[in-house]
Structure formats: structure tokens, C-alpha cells
Amino acid sequence: MKPHLVVAVFLCGAFATAARAQDVVPSKLSPLARMQAGLQSGFSPVIIRGDSAAAGGLVDLAIDNAGGFRGRELRVINARTAIVPNAALNGLTNHPFIAEISIDRPVRGTMERTAATIGATAIRQTYGYDGSGVGVAIIDSGVTASHDDLAGADGSRVSEFVDLVNGLDGAYDDYGHGTHVAGIVAGNGVLSGGARMGIAPGARLMVLKVLDGNGSGRISDVIAAFDRVLERKDALNIRVVNLSVSAGVYESYEADPLTLAAKRLVDAGIVVVAAAGNAGRNTDGLSLYGGITAPGNAPWVLTVGAANHQGTSDRADDTMAIFSSRGPAMFTYNAKPDLVAPGVGIESLAAPEGTLYTTRAANLLAGTVPANFLPYLSLSGTSMSAPVVTGTIALMLQANPGLTPNAVKAILQYTARESATYDHLTQGAGFVNAEGAVELARHFAAPLDVPFPSTSGWSKQIIWGNFVLSQGELTPGANAWAVDVGWGAAYTSTGAFVEWGVDPDEPALTWGASCADELCTSIQWGFGTWANAVWGQTCDGGDCADAWTAATSGAVSDPTAATVVWGSTVVWGSTVVWGSSDGEGDTVVWGSACTDEGCNVVWNPGLR
């Protein structure tokens, strides 16, 4: 039985029945599952979440009684995969112990100058940091562990290999994507005389195979990989996970089993780095907004877009890659990506047994040391930019093992190099600056002994939720870095206002959230300047103004409030535009149309 092939046929035909099923299927079904339930024939691969860990046996019994076939257990989200009849989906939602049913949807895998461009080479030369002692989990297509560039003093630096596709024991990579990613993170460049060294060549790798030889997989495979990472995080000191794979977004990150599973890792203190996706242009070559893929759409994930280093180590000529997905996130409209890193023409390791070795033969590169195969491959994509940041985080964690996921993200954004050419939905906080990030991480580890670094060229801002916050100085003891504080929250779990740091000119003045009035109906973000990254509105103290001109964006603020949130029914009397046009600058193809009935978000058809 080959359920993946059968499923593909049904998914392709599902959209024709969406409107018919939308209003009659219970809310426990995800949007894609609702479409499948409307078919009333055939089978679908699903992920069924129980309402608690104790519900597992009842869920299994319900699957059996529905005529389904049980699959893998996903303990990280109290779930089970299954293949069930579409006609049984509605009935399954009647069980009180079933919390949600989602389609097990597909995922895909989306350096010679890179390390120098971001400053990693300077950090290695200055402090000797190479990621040693830090465990990195790579969830991808596998790895050619025998590649010379992954060798260490005691053999391969691949500490553990888990095959969630074919169940094989020995490490392998029949696609080649994972090996390339592994080399960006931790290749030592031995076959190129060190020229094509990765960002953190001393890091140890846990590699989990979730993509097959064609670069395809399912989100349940990724969730199962998360399960295994949680099991092994202490034994292997796993501090960061790299996901250069992505899935389409069909529901809020608050309901998607993939993003919820990623949150379990972050809650356990593991940084989850995800590629933003490669949907920055439509088929006509026009820029698109709103193309961030899952799980990068979730605020707790560190989402990385792609920059182009132009083949030089000079940061001044860096530009955005035209394919890099822009924010905001679909459905929830939160600001993404978090930052960008080199992702064009990245030279890293080749897997001679992988599909890419044949299909991308023109991109293969020789080393400087004799080998019986071409050991390097040049690839482009946000799949390549994500591991650049993952390697940077390994360096940061070697310098300061005490950093939490929130602290890591804040430091990376604060030290990033912002370009005046691009908005925050394109570049996030800016272009990654490994040198600055490690320097600030060192200060966080010993603030009394290591002075606050020079901030020359830094963005000196963080994007906290949808708000771009600037003019403050991050401090190690700020409560925003606690593991139980959600990224973008105004309050901690104990009800205190979130704080990020201080005013560098008046250290007694806290940089953080505070109530705007006695009723706390809105949040003012400390002193200085803040901006809404999605709407383009800036505020300095109580004075708010539109950051984008009226000719470009129309009205972007509610005249009765300090900020506008998505889902508002405020009538602006015009169409609000965030970016795309027909190429001539005068026809809106992406924006929010508001009438007397309220506001309706209109997405560029090229997105779906």
C-alpha cells in the first residue's frame, strides 16, 4: 500500500468541495480536513490530537472503529497519525477526547564567502569559537556522514542519525539537501583547504531524515523528529534545531500541529530555526507579500529569509534575494521573517548518492584535495540561509550557554544590519551579523566583566510581535528572556510588564511595556520610538504618524486608537496597501479593502 500516492490524488481534487463542506463540518477539523470530509469517499492521512496524554488509547480505538489504519505516535503533541476514510472524519470529531484532526500535509526542502560576510570568520579567529560542545539537530533529508568535511578527531561529528522515512540504521542522504545544510552549519572545509568551512565547524550534529530521495515528506515525520529531539536533547546537548524544510499554511499557528510541536521544543529551551520559504515572487516576476511557510509563521520560531552576498565578503553590497518569502504570516498576519542571511550561491557539501548530485551536476564543485567525487555543491534558497543562522547560534551558545530562545532571537535582531532599502516584512530586523551577535552574547554571560559592545552598524532594534522597538539597550536580566514568556507578549506569566532593557542614556529608565492609561486598554512600548511592522505606523512617545506615504498605503491607523490590529472593523474609506502593485505602481493587487461592512483582506491570487 502506498498511501502517499493515493492521498495526493484526493488533495488535488479537494478544493472544489471546500465551499460545500465549510459550513457543516465541526470546528475540530482543520481547514484541509474539512475539505476532505466533504468528499465522502477515499482516504486521507491525518494527525489526530487527543485532549491529553491519557487519551491515546481512546484515540486508537476510535481510529480502529472508524475503519482507519493507525500510524506513528506523536507524543510531543499527544497525537497519532492515521489513514482514515474521509466519510468518517465528521464522526470522529464527536468524541470528546479528540481535540483536533489535521491533514498530514506535505513538506519540502526548499560557502566560501558566507562566513566572512556575516563575521563568523572574525569570531573564530578572535575567540576560537567553533561551536564545540553545542549539539545541533538537523531535520532534513539525511546526511553523508562519511564526508571528510564532517570528520572530527574521534570520527564523524554526526553523533546520531535517525531515519524516519525508511527506518534504516546507517546514515545516508539519497536526496542531498540535508548534507548541504549540514555542511553550512558544521563543515570543516578539509577538502577545500578550509575555504568552504561552515559557520560552526566544531558543532556536533544529530541528523533526522524526514525527506525522501525526491525531497518530499509529511509534517508527521517532522513532528516525530521533534519527539526524538526532546528525548535526546540532554544526552546530546541539543540547543538548536535547523528546519530547512517547510509546509504550506492553511490555518493559524495556534492550531497547526506542526507549529504547536515546534513550541514544545522552544518551551524546553531549544531554539527552532526555520526557513522563511521561497515564495517572494509570483509567476509574473512581481513581488509577493504573505508567503511565509510553516512552521516559520509561528512567533516562537526564528524565521530566516535569504540575502544575496553578491559573491563578495563586503557587507555593503548585500541585497535581498528576490525569491525570499515576505511576511506577514497568513491568517494571523504577524510580522515575519525575523532576519535574513546569505542564501544565494552557497557552496557546501555534496552527497554523491543523492538525487541533487545528478540533477544539479552543473553546480558541483571540486575541492583542493584529491577525492573520488566532486565534494561541493552550490545551491540557493532560504534552505541555505537558515543553517547560516543556526551555525551562528551555535557560536553564540558556545560563548554563552545560558542564553534562552528569546534572548538568542533578540540578540540576533538587535545586532543585525538593517538596510534602508527594504521594509520589515522583507528583511525582518536586518541582515545577520554573527560577529556582533557573539560579542553581545559574551556580554550577556558576564555583564560586569565584558563591556557592552560597540553598536556601530547594528539595527539596535527588535521586532517584538508586530512592534519594531528601538533606542533601548538589551540587558541580560530582562524578564523578556524567560522561557515562559511568549515572543510578542506584553506581560509575563506572573502578570508583570515585559521588559527588554534600559535607556542607555538613563539606565534607571526601563525599556519595556507599560500601561497607556488606568484601564490598560492599550500598551505603550517604553520610551523612544516604536513602529508597527505590518501596518507601517511609527510612534514616538504619544505622537503617532504613518511611516509609509499616503500615496502608497492610504490610511493605516485607527483615529481612535494608538495602533490597528488585524481583524479590525474600522472603516478607512479606501484600500490599504502594504506592498505589491502591478509593476507600474498604480494598481493594487494585495491589500485590505474596507467598506461600511468592515474590512476584507484580499490576497494576491499568486499566493495560493
Instruction: Give the residue numbers annotated as catalytic, written as ranges.
Output: 140, 177, 383
Whether the Cβ atoms of residue 278 and residue 110 lie closer than 8 Å to each other: yes
User: Rounded distance, CA 288 to CA 276, Å?
Assistant: 13
Beta bridge partners of residue 49, listed in sequence order: 79, 100
Spatial CA neighbour of 385 closest among 365, 412, 355, 363: 412
Whether the Cβ atoms of residue 104 and residue 46 lie closer than 8 Å to each other: yes
Helix (H) or strand (E) holding 115: helix 114-118
The DSSP bridge pattern shows strands 339-342 and 302-308 to be parallel
Q: 515: which residues sit within 8 A by CB, 6+ positions away?
A: 497, 523, 524
For the chain, the C-alpha Rg in angstroms (whole number) is: 24
User: Rounded distance, CA 234 to CA 454, Å?
Assistant: 35
Alpha helices in 275-379 (DSSP H): 355-359
Spatial CA neighbour of 423 closest among 548, 552, 324: 548
Instruction: Measure Cα distances from 50 to 82, 177, 596 in Å.
Output: 13, 34, 42
Q: 318: which residues sit within 8 A by CB, 6+ positions away?
A: 117, 307, 308, 309, 310, 342, 419, 431
Which residue matches cell numbers 502593485?
581
Spatial CA neighbour of 145 closest among 178, 112, 175: 178
